[in-house]
Amino acid sequence: MSLNVQCVAPNGRKWTQPTGLFINNQWVKSSDGAKIASINPATAKEITSVYAGTEKDVDTAVKAARAALNDPSWRDLSGLDRGKMMNRLAQLIDDNKETLAVIETCDNGKPYLVSLNDDMTETAETIRYYSGFADKIFGQVIDTTTDKFAYTMRQPVGVCGQIIPWNFPLSMAAWKLGPALACGNAVVLKPAEQTPLSILFLANLIKEAGFPPGVVNIVNGHGAVAGAALASHMDVDKIAFTGSTATAKQIMKMASVNLKNITLETGGKSPLIVFDDADLEQAVEWAHIGIMYNQGQICTATSRILVHDKIYDRFVEAFKAQIKNVSKVGDPFDEETFQGPQVTQAQYERILSYVDVGTSEKATLTCGGKPFKGVGNGKGFFIEPTVFTDVSPKMRIYQEEVFGPFAVIARFKTEEEAVQMANDSEYGLGSALFTTNLTRAHRVAKRIEAGMVWINSSNDSDWRIPFGGVKQSGIGRELGEAGLDAYSSVKAVHVNMKSKL
């Protein structure tokens, strides 16, 4: 059955959009026929609607994945051939990157050039990077006594459920598919219901690359239905999730039904510390990117900016000027646009509600804080880049993740105070610090409670480098060689060479 519709982007580009559930390399309707509309956040208009999986559909997909795991065409495929298949997929992503970027921009709202140059590059390169690991996943030989030794092997974890967020739809799927496929697992992946379109398009490329039926199944659907069915399924061995901390807690509970292996990448309120010896221009440029890139919808966004008292006023003025000069809010297909719409009306309203919180907490609204209506039909979910100053650690806007173009700036007087303020958070994902003092840079990097530290930079991310959080920002690591640990389990084989006891 072909479940496709023809779509046209606002820039005139056309594409064929799959709308079904992808199970066993086939497109199927959901069992109850229900669909979810995908909305273009720049116009608030429907792009198309796609099928939403039920608990029954998730069960069908899990059975397909289990069968694939036991099928010789996948189970016995050599690492070398698995790697070649993944490499073909990476190439197909490159070959289709313009179409994929158009879809991503229509569905998510991020500027087209960001989709094309950042998200699509990361997607293809992550799959390509992990393709190289597929024939390099092996164990050790461990000598014990003259009569005995053991060897270890690294085997797939099994059926992996992967729950994807809406802020980087395709690249977050690649972060999870790459290591899972390199290690020989089978996958049931659930896109975020707000942004499923690019991942559904990817499904056809997975089939074209030669992956056997059932190795990758994609079931779009509501979190509370399809996501929950996956997290609580008795025959799913692992859940990998990226999204909010609140949802991660529910998933962790559900995953306990059969003691699933879990990796969780959750929320953040990452600090960015600017010491008085910092290169101010450099700090301002990165501080701006660190919170305003991707409409501020980044779990690692450095949304709490801590500035030394001596340079505070200069920093605030320069930061405001940077917003004025660089943060051009506009049509995501306009090449000049830095900031597109927020992903959904719900997110847009949530961010604006935090403007009220900040104002009622008596922080100073230094710029922004309002909807931006000057784009297209005036119905898109655009928000002015927003900055609160005179913020203190007790305030909700200092502690809570807003997930938008919303920065808070606070001041400190000593290094000790800066570290304390940085660590005064339930989260521990990213962190950045700006100083020209080498010793201080590494001393502070060691003390910050975070999974990642950027020295004189913010929000660098690279498929070769482990990514993840501490505290309530997550469990486990994705990317880099460390990302393989989450998708392989070590089996020890004990060998006795002595014939009698």
Catalytically active residues, by annotation: 265
For ligand ADP, the binding residues in 165-184 under the rule CB under 6 A are: 165
Q: Which of 190, 207, 238, 260 binds ligand ADP (CB under 6 A)?
A: 190
What residues pair up with 218 in beta bridges, in sequence order?
A: 22, 189
Q: Which of 61, 170, 173, 192 binds ligand ADP (CB under 6 A)?
A: 192
Segment holding 442, helix H or strand E: helix 438-447
Does 189 bind ligand ADP (CB under 6 A)? Our answer is no
> Around 459, how many Cα atoms within 13 Å sit in the side-chain half-sphere?
23
Q: Which of 61, 164, 202, 351 binds ligand ADP (CB under 6 A)?
A: 164
Does 41 bind ligand ADP (CB under 6 A)? Our answer is no
DSSP state of 171: H
For ligand ADP, the binding residues in 380-399 under the rule CB under 6 A are: none
Looking at the Cβ atoms of 194 and 431, the one nearer to ligand ADP is 194
Does 240 bind ligand ADP (CB under 6 A)? Our answer is no
Closest separation in Å from C-beta 55 to ligand ADP: 12
Does 209 bind ligand ADP (CB under 6 A)? Our answer is no
Looking at the Cβ atoms of 251 and 407, the one nearer to ligand ADP is 251
Looking at the Cβ atoms of 197 and 318, the one nearer to ligand ADP is 197
User: What are the tokens at 68?
Assistant: 């694939």
Q: Which of 23, 89, 240, 251 binds ligand ADP (CB under 6 A)?
A: 251
DSSP state of 414: S
Does 345 bind ligand ADP (CB under 6 A)? Our answer is no
Does 244 bind ligand ADP (CB under 6 A)? Our answer is yes
Alpha carbon distance 144, 129 (integer Å): 35
Looking at the Cβ atoms of 266 and 431, the one nearer to ligand ADP is 266
Segment holding 283, helix H or strand E: helix 280-292
Looking at the Cβ atoms of 60 and 247, the one nearer to ligand ADP is 247
First to last CA, the chain: 63
Alpha carbon distance 246, 266 (integer Å): 9
Closest separation in Å from C-beta 160 to ligand ADP: 14
- Burial of residue 243 (CB within 10 Å: 0-12, 13-18, 19+) is buried
Q: Which of 178, 223, 296, 358 binds ligand ADP (CB under 6 A)?
A: 223
Q: Which of 119, 193, 384, 478 binds ligand ADP (CB under 6 A)?
A: 193
Q: Phi/psi zone of residue 451: left (φ > 0), alpha (ψ -120 to 50 degrees), beta? A: alpha
Helix (H, G, I), strand (E, B) or coil at 91: helix
φ and ψ of 169, to 5 deg: -55, -55
- Do the beta carbons of residue 231 and residue 201 sit within 8 Å? no
Stretch of residues binding ligand ADP (CB under 6 A), selected from 58-66, 89-97, 243-251, 413-421: 243-251
Looking at the Cβ atoms of 229 and 453, the one nearer to ligand ADP is 229
Gyration radius (Cα) of the chain, Å = 24
Alpha carbon distance 469, 489 (integer Å): 22
Looking at the Cβ atoms of 341 and 376, the one nearer to ligand ADP is 341
> Around 266, how many Cα atoms within 13 Å sit in the side-chain half-sphere?
22
Count of C-beta atoms within a 10 Å radius of residue 322: 18
Alpha carbon distance 423, 181 (integer Å): 36
Does 268 bind ligand ADP (CB under 6 A)? Our answer is no
Stretch of residues binding ligand ADP (CB under 6 A), selected from 187-195, 255-263, 307-315, 352-360: 187-195
Question: Can you give the binding site for ligand ADP, defined by CB under 6 A?
Answer: 163-165, 190, 192-193, 223-224, 227-228, 231, 243-244, 247, 250-251
